[in-house]
Structure 1
Amino acid sequence: MTQPLVKICGLSTPDTLDAALEAGAAMVGLVFFPKSPRNVSIEEATSLAERARGKAEIVALVVDADDDLIDRIAEEVKPDWLQLHGKETPERCARIKMRTGLKLMKALGVSQSSDIDAALPYIGLVDRILFDAKPPKGAELPGGNGVAYDWSLLKELDLGVPVMLSGGLAPDTIAEALALSGISAVDVSSGVERERGVKDEKLIRAFIANARRAGVGE
């Protein structure tokens, strides 16, 4: 059994960030998307990032962001990763990589097996693929909707680039998700919230503890 890498996304307060760090999150995510209830300002994010630096990798989530926003995040927040959660093309990803030098994670929506093929053009251009659930029809957010999909679609998947699982994960579903997918890296946001956009310290701790208890592999 190996311990899964856990990312807690959409953190916006010092207390919930500290809970994630103390529980052993390997990555912490900060959201830069005004439509999201988890959105943080550059100033808030800079403070949170300094609190996390050296304890976990810092991930800045953007959705079809322009160069000005990406430059500000890179220069002021200084994240380890940019998570591209919009409709960024492979060409756009390559330009962002060249512009910032940061590690890139590209999020792609999944509802059926053919959706996984959408990752292929990004191989070699990004450092990790995040497979999230496709958002419900009419949803304002591209992720963080608490929607699950058939996690077994990712079983024995080998794209030649690290993969992360998201979508419908929560303390009471993480063990099943790990078993069905075989993926050793997971990302949760709405599944550790007591209400939309408001993280719960107990749920964060429970999620990470349950993920570690379940493990991945034989």
Structure 2
Amino acid sequence: MTKLSVNINKVATLRNARGGNNPDVVRVALDCEKFGAQGITVHPRPDERHIRHQDVFDLRPRLSTEFNIEGNPSDDFCSLVLKAKPDQVTLVPDAPDQLTSNHGWNTIKHEVFLRDVVGRFKAAGIRVSIFIDAQPVLADYAKKVGADRVELYTEPYAANYAANREEAIAPFVQTAIHCREIGLGLNAGHDLSLQNLAYFHQQIPWVDEVSIGHALICDALYLGLRETISEYLACLK
């Protein structure tokens, strides 16, 4: 079964815009779990413009589903993850001032660096996923450096879905098949939505987890959080 992990960054963005604790990030995360989500994702950035380090420590003991922390493995990020010990860490090559993720790792170029980082997290008992573009060779090197999974960067699929969904999904299917052949777990995320998620899952039903934040929180403004999570879960059946 493909798990739905809800990225709650946008909830923290809304809270930080006004100060105080409204909306309450922990309460929203617990509600997501109560409504059926099988995981919670956060992506703390160096400027803490949405998720703060304290949020990570507030969430960790309260969650009953899988906790995934994603981000660029700077020294501060690695320290945070090793202290919090989530179920999974997802390595994302974001620049400090980057608005949102827009590419995956070049696992060939950064092989030595990634091997060291992956080794540190796995020694602490944390499952490691590496964010990559949909290219089989990048999955090969993710496997080579010791990652347990890769997360496919799905923005190109989402951007081209309306024009030609068969063409848009093709490199993702190819890479997903390759991951399965080499024994590498498979996650996916970025710009997946109620419009394109069901087709993605129909073509790659063995994906372990999808991480969805922006679109899901936007949909919740219209549908409510409970109904929104229900509709996203229906796309994964």
Q: Same fold (TM over 0.5)?
A: yes
Of 170, 174, 177, 2:193 maps to: 170
Percentage identity across aligned positions?
12
Greater gyration radius? 2
Q: Distance in 2 between matches of 1:165 and 1:151?
A: 12
Aligned residues: 192
Q: Distance in 2 between matches of 1:24 and 1:201?
A: 19
SS in structure 1 at match of 2:43:
strand
Of 44, 52, 69, 2:77 maps to: 69
The answer to whether residue 171 in structure 2 is matched with residue 153 in structure 1 is: yes
SS in structure 1 at match of 2:133:
strand
Contact 1:29 1:59 (8 Å CA) reproduced: yes
Question: 2:7 maps to what in 1?
Answer: 9
The Cα offsets for residues 122-150 of structure 1, whole Å up to 9 and x where unpaired, read as: 11510111001358xxxxxxxxxx75662
Q: Which of the pair is proportionally richer in strand?
A: 1
* 1:89-100 equivalences in 2 (<5 Å): 89-100=110-121
5+ long unaligned stretches in structure 2:
13-24, 94-104, 162-167
CA RMSD of aligned residues (A): 2.9
1:4 is aligned with what amino acid?
T
SS in structure 2 at match of 1:50:
coil
1:32 is aligned with what amino acid?
P
5+ long unaligned stretches in structure 1:
136-145
SS in structure 1 at match of 2:62:
helix
2:112 is aligned with what amino acid?
E
* 1:64-143 equivalences in 2 (<5 Å): 65-75=73-83, 77-86=84-93, 87=105, 89-100=110-121, 101=124, 102-110=126-134, 115-124=135-144, 125-133=146-154
Length-normalised TM-score, structure 1: 0.73
Question: 1:180 maps to what in 2?
Answer: 203
Q: Distance in 2 between matches of 1:14 and 1:202?
A: 21
1:109 is aligned with what amino acid?
D
Q: Distance in 1 between matches of 2:200 and 2:7?
A: 17
